[in-house]
C-alpha cells in the first residue's frame, strides 16, 4: 500500500510538501523551516521529488582540469586556507609556461573544461589574464574555459583601467566561455564584514553577474556554508540568487560548498556534518526552482556524502578534476592534487542506482545515459593523488 504524503513527510511539513507536489515556489519561511526541521529524511524526500521531476535518474559529470594560477592574494579572507601566508602555504605565481606545462601534462586525458581561479595578486597586469586564456585555448583547442570569479573580474578590470563589462568583453575575445560561481560566499553584509571585508560585497558581485548575463556569458553560483552564517542568512542567500536568476536566467548550476576550517583563521569551528551537507543540497534544490542543476562537489563533500546527495536533490557530481589546490588537506599545503578516474566516477554514480552522463560545461550530453543494474558493493572510492608537480 502506497504511503500518503503526510505519512512520508509528517504533518509538520505537509503544507510545504503539498506546494512541492503542485510545483509552487517556496517562501523564505518555508526555507527556514526546511533548515530547522529535525526530519532531514523528509527534506531529502521532497528534494528528490524535484530532482527526479527535472532529471529522473540522470547524474551529470564533466572531465575537467583545475588550474589555480596564483595563491598570492591581498584579500585575507578569514575562511581561506589557500592564500600564501606566514606559517601557511608558500607563495607561488605560475607564468604562462608553467600553466602550459600543466595543461600538457594531461593532454592524454580527453578533458572538455579548464577551470581557472586564483588569488588577487595586484602585480599581475591586465595582459596576463588575456594571454592566460588565449594560451589555454591554443594548447587545448575546443576546451571550455571557465575562469575568474567576480572578485577576480573586478581586479582584472581595475588592472586594465576599464569597466567590468569591457574586461569581460576582452576576456571573451581571448576565449573565456563562462564564469565560476565563487567570490561572494554568502550574500550577507554581516558575514561579508566579519569574514571577507576586503573582497567585493553582495551588490558588486551582482553587478558582475548582470554584466556577464548582458554579454551572454553563462555563470555558476555557489554558497559557502558551515562557518558563521545563520539559517536566516542561508535562506536569504538562496532567495537573492533566485531573484537574480529570475532577472538574468544565466546561471547554469548551484553548488553549496562545505566549509573546511583546517588551515584557516576559523580553525576552531567544527567541520560541517553530513546532515549539514545533505541539508544544504536538499534545501537549495527546493528553494532554487529556477536553477536546472544542483551540484555536490565531491572534493569538499567527500565521495560517500556525494553518493547520498544524489538522492537528496543533487543531479551533478562535478568532475574528474585533475589538480585542486584550494582546500587544505591531510595536514599539509603541499601536493593536494586529486582526481577520480572516469571509471571511478561512473562507479560512484551507478552504485547508488543513478545514471551517469558525461556533459560539457553547458550541460549538453556527451556520452552515457544508459541505465544499467546498480554496481553491488563497489568498495571504497579513493581520490587518486597525482604525481607531485
Q: Contact residues for ligand SF4 (CB under 6 A)?
A: 73, 75-77, 80, 82-83, 119-120, 151, 196, 199
Beta carbon nearer to ligand SF4, 76 or 105: 76
Beta carbon nearer to ligand SF4, 31 or 180: 180
Beta carbon nearer to ligand SF4, 73 or 352: 73
Beta carbon nearer to ligand SF4, 39 or 74: 74
Q: Minimum Å distance from CB 204 to ligand SF4?
A: 13
Beta carbon nearer to ligand SF4, 53 or 193: 193
Beta carbon nearer to ligand SF4, 61 or 83: 83
Q: Minimum Å distance from CB 117 to ligand SF4?
A: 8
Q: Minimum Å distance from CB 249 to ligand SF4?
A: 27
Q: Minimum Å distance from CB 230 to ligand SF4?
A: 21
Q: Minimum Å distance from CB 202 to ligand SF4?
A: 15
Q: Minimum Å distance from CB 118 to ligand SF4?
A: 7
Main-chain phi, psi angles of 256, to 5 degrees: -75, 130
Beta carbon nearer to ligand SF4, 17 or 266: 266
Beta carbon nearer to ligand SF4, 222 or 361: 222
Q: Minimum Å distance from CB 196 to ligand SF4?
A: 6
Residue 230 to residue 107: CA distance in whole angstroms: 44
Beta carbon nearer to ligand SF4, 75 or 106: 75
Residue 339 to residue 318: CA distance in whole angstroms: 11
Q: Minimum Å distance from CB 199 to ligand SF4?
A: 5
3-state secondary structure the chain: CCCCHHHHHCHHHHHHHHHHHHCCCCCHHHHHHHHHCCCHHHHHHHHHHHHHHHHCCEEEEECEEEECCECCCCCCCCCCCCCCCCCCCCCCECCHHHHHHHHHHCCCCCCCEEEECCCCCCCCCHHHHHHHHHHHHHHCCCCEEEECCHHHHHHHHHHHCCCHHHHHHHHHHHCCCEECCCCCCCCCHHHHHHHCCCCCCHHHHHHHHHHHHHCCCEEEEEEEECCCCCHHHHHHHHHHHHHHHHHHCCEEEEEEEECCCCCCCCCCCCCCCHHHHHHHHHHHHHHCCCCCEEECCHHHHCHHHHHHHCCCCCCEEEECCECCCCCCECCECCCCCEECCHHHHHHHHHCCCCEEEEECCCCCEEEECCCCCCCCCCCCCCCEECCCC
Q: Minimum Å distance from CB 274 to ligand SF4?
A: 25
Residue 130 to residue 147: CA distance in whole angstroms: 11
Amino acid at each position: 500500500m502506497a504511503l500518503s504524503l503526510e505519512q512520508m513527510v509528517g504533518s509538520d511539513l505537509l503544507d510545504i510538501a503539498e506546494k512541492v507536489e503542485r510545483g509552487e515556489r517556496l517562501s523564505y519561511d518555508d526555507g527556514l523551516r526546511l533548515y530547522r526541521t529535525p526530519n532531514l529524511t523528509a527534506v531529502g524526500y521532497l528534494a528528490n521529488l524535484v530532482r527526479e521531476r527535472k532529471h529522473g535518474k540522470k547524474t551529470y559529470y564533466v572531465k575537467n582540469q583545475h588550474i589555480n594560477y596564483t595563491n598570492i592574494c591581498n584579500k585575507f579572507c578569514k575562511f581561506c586556507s589557500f592564500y600564501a601566508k606566514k606559517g601557511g602555504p608558500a607563495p607561488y605565481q605560475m607564468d604562462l609556461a608553467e600553466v602550459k606545462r600543466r595543461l600538457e601534462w594531461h593532454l592524454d586525458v580527453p578533458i572538455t573544461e579548464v577551470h581557472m581561479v586564483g588569488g588577487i595578486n595586484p602585480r599581475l597586469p591586465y595582459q596576463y589574464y588575456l594571454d592566460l586564456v588565449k594560451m589555454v585555448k591554443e594548447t587545448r583547442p575546443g576546451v571550455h574555459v571557465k575562469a575568474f570569479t567576480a572578485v577576480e573580474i573586478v581586479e582584472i578590470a581595475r588592472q586594465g583601467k576599464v569597466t567590468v563589462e569591457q574586461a569581460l568583453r576582452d576576456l571573451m575575445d581571448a576565449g573565456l566561455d563562462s564564469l565560476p560561481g565563487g567570490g561572494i560566499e554568502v550574500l550577507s553584509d554581516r558575514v561579508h564584514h566579519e569574514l571577507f571585508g576586503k573582497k567585493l560585497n553582495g551588490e558588486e558581485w551582482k553587478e558582475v553577474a548582470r554584466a556577464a548575463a548582458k554579454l551572454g556569458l553563462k555563470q555558476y553560483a555557489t554558497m559557502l556554508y558551515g562557518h558563521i552564517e545563520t539559517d536566516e542568512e542561508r535562506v536569504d542567500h538562496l532567495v537573492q540568487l533566485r531573484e537574480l536568476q529570475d532577472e538574468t536566467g544565466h546561471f547554469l548550476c548551484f553548488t553549496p560548498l562545505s566549509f573546511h576550517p583546517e588551515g584557516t583563521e576559523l580553525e576552531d569551528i567544527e567541520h560541517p556534518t553530513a546532515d549539514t551537507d545533505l541539508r544544504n543540497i536538499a534545501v537549495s534544490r527546493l528553494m532554487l526552482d529556477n536553477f536546472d542543476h544542483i551540484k555536490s562537489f565531491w572534493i569538499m563533500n567527500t565521495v560517500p556524502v556525494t553518493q547520498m546527495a544524489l538522492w537528496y536533490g543533487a543531479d551533478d557530481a562535478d568532475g574528474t578534476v585533475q589538480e585542486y589546490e584550494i582546500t587544505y588537506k591531510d595536514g599539509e599545503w603541499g601536493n593536494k592534487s586529486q582526481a577520480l578516474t572516469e571509471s571511478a566516477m561512473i562507479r560512484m554514480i551507478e552504485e547508488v542506482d543513478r545514471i551517469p552522463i558525461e556533459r560539457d560545461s553547458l550541460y549538453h550530453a556527451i556520452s552515457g545515459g544508459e541505465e544499467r543494474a546498480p554496481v553491488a558493493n563497489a568498495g571504497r572510492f579513493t581520490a587518486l593523488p597525482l604525481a607531485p608537480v
